[in-house]
Amino acid sequence: MTTPTAPSTDSSPFRDPLTEPGAGTRVKVCGITQPSEIGLLTDERADFVGLWLAVPGGPHDLAPEEWQALAEDAAGRPQPTPVLVTFTKDVEVLREAVSRTRVRWIQLHGYPTPGFVRKVKAIGPDVRVIKVLHVKGDECVEAALIGSYEKAGTDVFLFDTVSADGRVGSTGESLDAAVVESLIGRLTRPFLLAGGISAANPDRYEALRRHPLFLGIDVDTNARGDDGAIAAEPVRSIVAAWRGDDG
pLDDT tens by residue, 105-150: 999 998 999 999 999 999 999 999 999 999 988 899 999 999 999 9
Q: What is the pLDDT of residue 173?
A: 77
Give per-residue burial for 73-88: e unless 16+ CB within 10 Å, then b.
bbeeeebbbbbbbbbb
Can you give the pLDDT of all 247 residues of the chain as single tens digits?
344 444 443 344 445 656 778 888 999 999 999 999 999 999 999 999 999 999 998 999 999 999 999 999 999 999 999 999 999 999 999 999 999 999 999 999 989 999 999 999 999 999 999 999 999 888 999 999 999 999 999 999 999 998 665 566 555 678 999 999 999 999 999 999 999 999 999 999 999 999 999 999 999 999 999 999 999 999 999 999 999 856 5
pLDDT computed for residue 73 by the predictor: 97
Domains observed in the chain: 24-242 (3.20.20.70)
Distance separating alpha carbons of residues 215 and 207, to the nearest angstrom: 13
Residue 39 to residue 2: CA distance in whole angstroms: 42
CB 165 within 8 A of CB 137: no
DSSP string, 36-68: HHHHHHHHTT-SEEEEEES-TT-TTEE-HHHHH
3-state secondary structure of 140: strand
Exposure of 43 in the CB half-sphere (CA atoms within 13 A): 12
Calpha distance 193→152 (Å, rounded): 21
Question: Whole-model pTM?
Answer: 0.91
The per-residue pLDDT for 185 is 95
pLDDT tens profile 226-236: 999 999 999 99
pLDDT score for 137: 85
CA–CA gap between residue 157 and residue 218 (Å, rounded): 11
